[in-house]
Amino acid sequence: MRTVRTQRLDADDAGIARAAALLRAGRLVAFGTETVYGLGADAAQPQAIEAVFAAKGRPRHNPLIAHVADSDAAFRQVRETPLARLLADAFWPGPLTLVLPARADSTVCAAAAAGLATLAVRVPSGTVAQGLLRALDRPVAAPSANPSGRVSPSEAAHVLEGLAGRIDAVLDCGPCAVGLESTVLELSGGQATLLRPGGIAAEAIEALLAARGVPALRLPAPGAYAAPASPGMLASHYAPTLPLRLDAAGTGPDEALLAFGPALPGAGLTWNLSPDGDLAQAASRLFAGLRWLDTHGLRLGLLRIAVMPIPSRGLGLAMRDRLQRAAAPRAPFPGAPFPGTPVLERIGA
Ligand code: TXA
Ligand code: MG
C-alpha cells in the first residue's frame, strides 16, 4: 500500500472545501458524523472505493453505506417505499441507515455496494458532515474510519491512530455526539428488519411503527445479543488488544474495569461510562473508554478488560452488541476468517 502524509483539516469552511476537493479528486477523507468518524470516498469512483477497502483491510464483500445530505438525495439512489419515507421523515437527519433496492440509475458504483442489488443509505445529522455532503453534492461512501475489526473512532485522534499514512486527510469535527454507529434497517416486503442495533433505539422505531399501524420491527431472536448461541459464530470486531470479560459481578487488581453506574471496587484501572447509569452518556464514551483501558491496561501489564452489566434497553442494546463482538474469539491475524466459521458476518465490519 502506498504511504501518504495524512493532513488534519479544521472543520471550518476552508477545511470543508478542501475535503470536498480531495473527495472529488478520488482521494480518501475521514470526517466526523454524529455517530462515529467515517472514511469517506466519492461513491461513484471505483478506484476510490477500492482504496477505502485497502486502507481498512476490509473484505470486499462487505458493502459500504452511501451518505447523502437529505432524503431527496437518498431516494435518487434507492427505491422509495411508504415505509422508507415514514422512517426517513421521522429519523433523518440522524443515526439511521436504510437498506433498500438500488435504483437502476443509482450513481453509486458496484464496488461500493459489494455487487449487491440493495444499497444502504444514510443522512447524517452532524453540521460538518452536512456541510461536506452539500459542498460535494454527490453520495459519499463511508465505513467507520478504523482498520477492519478494530474499535470504531469517535474522535479524530482515533482515526489517526489507526489510519495515518493510509488516507489523505481527516476533517477534525471533535468528539462524536452519539458515539455508536447508526441503526441499520433492511426494508423489504413492507416490513423493517433490524440488521444492526445502533444510535436510534429499537424502541423508538417500534413506537413509530405501532402508532402508524405498520408491521412490527423484526428483531433478532430473543437473547441473540445477550448470549450468542455459539461464540464462534460471532466474528471478532470492535476489538481492543486486551481480551474482554462481560457482565462482571466482581473484579481485581489484574483487570481494567469498564464501569457503568457505581463502579465495582478493586480494579487495577477504571473508566466509568456513566456513574449515573445514563445510557446516552455511556454510549458516547464507549469507544474512547475501550481505547483508554486498552492503552493504559497494556502499559500496566493488566490481563483483561472486565465490563460491568449494561441493560439491553435503549442504546444499551447497541452497546451490548459491540461489546459481544469485542469479546468474541479473535482471528489469528486481523481480518482473517475463524477456522470452520463463516468468513465474516455481513453486519459489523
Ligand atoms: O454510523 C454509521 O453507520 C457509520 C458512519 C460513518 O456513518 N458507518 C458505518 O459503516 O458504521 P460500516 O461500514 O462500518 O458499517 C456499515 C454496516 C456494515 O455492517 C455493512 O455490512 C452494512 O452496514 N451494510 C451496508 N450495505 C448493506 C446492504 N446493502 N445490505 C446489508 N447490510 C449492509
Ligand atoms: Mg465499522
pLDDT in tens, 287-313: 999 999 999 999 999 999 999 999 999
pLDDT in tens, 39-88: 999 999 999 999 999 999 999 999 999 999 999 999 999 999 999 999 99
pLDDT score recorded for residue 220: 66
The pLDDT of residue 331 is above 80: no
| Mean pLDDT over the full length of the chain | 92
**Start-to-end C-alpha separation, the chain:** 20
The pLDDT of residue 228 is above 50: no
Q: Are 160 and 6 in contact (CB under 8 A)?
A: yes
Task: Tell the residue number behind the cell numbers 489484574, with chain if given.
Answer: 254
pLDDT in tens, 114-141: 999 999 999 999 999 999 999 999 999 9
The pLDDT of residue 178 is above 70: yes
Q: Is the pTM of this model over 0.75?
A: yes
The pLDDT of residue 347 is above 50: no
pLDDT in tens, 184-200: 999 988 999 999 999 99
CA–CA distance from 179 to each of 34, 173, 273, 285 (Å)? 7, 13, 12, 7
CB of 129 closer than 6 angstroms to any ligand 1 atom: no
The pLDDT of residue 231 is above 80: no
pLDDT score recorded for residue 224: 52
pLDDT in tens, 243-283: 999 999 999 999 999 999 999 999 999 999 999 999 999 99
Q: What is the C-alpha to C-alpha distance for residues 154 and 178, in angstroms, rounded to an integer?
A: 9
Q: Return the H-helix or E-strand segment holding 170.
A: strand 169-172
pLDDT in tens, 79-116: 999 999 999 999 999 999 999 999 999 999 999 999 99
| Pocket test residue of 67, 176, 184 for ligand 1, highest count of atoms within 8 A of CB | 184
Rounded distance from Cα 65 to ligand 1 centre (Å)? 5
Q: Mean pLDDT throughout 236-242? A: 88
The pLDDT of residue 144 is above 50: yes
The pLDDT of residue 14 is above 80: yes
Name the residue with higher pLDDT: 177 or 234: 177
Q: Are 145 and 28 in contact (CB under 8 A)?
A: no
| Pocket test residue of 58, 108, 130, 181 for ligand 1, highest count of atoms within 8 A of CB | 181
Q: Which ligand is nearest to the CA of 173?
A: 1
Q: What is the C-alpha to C-alpha distance for residues 107 and 129, in angstroms, rounded to an integer?
A: 20
Residue type, 112: A
Enumerate helices (H) and strands (E) in the chain, giving the number of each: 9, 14
The pLDDT of residue 168 is above 90: yes
C-alpha cell at 32: 466526523
| Confidence at 237, pLDDT banded by 50, 70, 90 | confident
CB of 142 closer than 6 angstroms to any ligand 1 atom: yes
pLDDT score recorded for residue 332: 57
Alpha helices, DSSP H, located in the chain: 13-24, 46-56, 71-74, 82-91, 127-136, 156-163, 202-211, 279-299, 316-327
CB of 119 closer than 6 angstroms to any ligand 1 atom: yes
Rounded distance from Cα 143 to ligand 1 centre (Å)? 6
pLDDT score recorded for residue 343: 33
